[in-house]
Amino acid sequence: MIVILGKTFTFMSPLVIESSLETPEIILDKKTNTFLFKGKSLPENPIVFYEPVFKWLDDYLIDPNPETLVNFMMVYFNTSSSKIILDIMKRLELIKKSGHLVTVNWRFREDDEEMLEAGEIYAERVSIPFNLIPDETVN
């Protein structure tokens, strides 16, 4: 962290987590403005798995980009992961409340009514712009 003329600047390393059979691909990169959650989320211990994500987002809250566009491309997640995803969205909501633009693109396969419904529920629970986007590249 550097302070110049009273303004705090945070240099953050990207967080990149490769997907597995039970965990999503996650890319959080301030420099390239890439924020992606993609795949399945069934980790044995979701709190431990997502801990680095929360740490990264908490650091990002200090000095977020003027605009943050987050893409969710989930194909399945279990109940414990659904709570974690809501917690992630609540952190995104804090960024918006600090005066920055935040948008969520919830991408889902057109034939996946469960993921559409999940996106609708999240959109109702947070006060950030939320786009529900049918996307056949989600897999």
Find residue 35's DSSP bridge partners: 28, 70
Q: Quick one: average pLDDT of 48-68? A: 96
Task: For 40-78, give one letter per residue: b (16+ CB within 10 A) or e.
Answer: bbbbeebeebbeebeebbebbeebbeeebbbbbbbbebe
* Token pair recorded at residue 130: 């939320």
Tens digit of each residue's pLDDT (9 = 90 or more) over 112-137: 999 999 999 999 999 999 999 999 99
Q: Can you tell me the distance from the alpha carbon of 13 to that of 64, in angstroms, rounded to the nearest whole number? A: 13
**Topology of domain 12-134, CATH:** Transcription Regulator spoIIAA (3.30.750)
Average pLDDT, the chain: 93
The Cβ of residue 131 has, within 10 Å, a number of other Cβ atoms equal to: 13
Over residues 87-101, mean pLDDT: 96
Of 110, 96, 106, residue with least CA distance to 70: 106
| Mean pLDDT, residues 51-63 | 96
Query: Is there a contact between 115 and 109 (Cβ–Cβ < 8 Å)?
Result: yes
Q: Which of 5-9, 20-24, 49-53, 118-122 has the lowest mean pLDDT?
A: 5-9
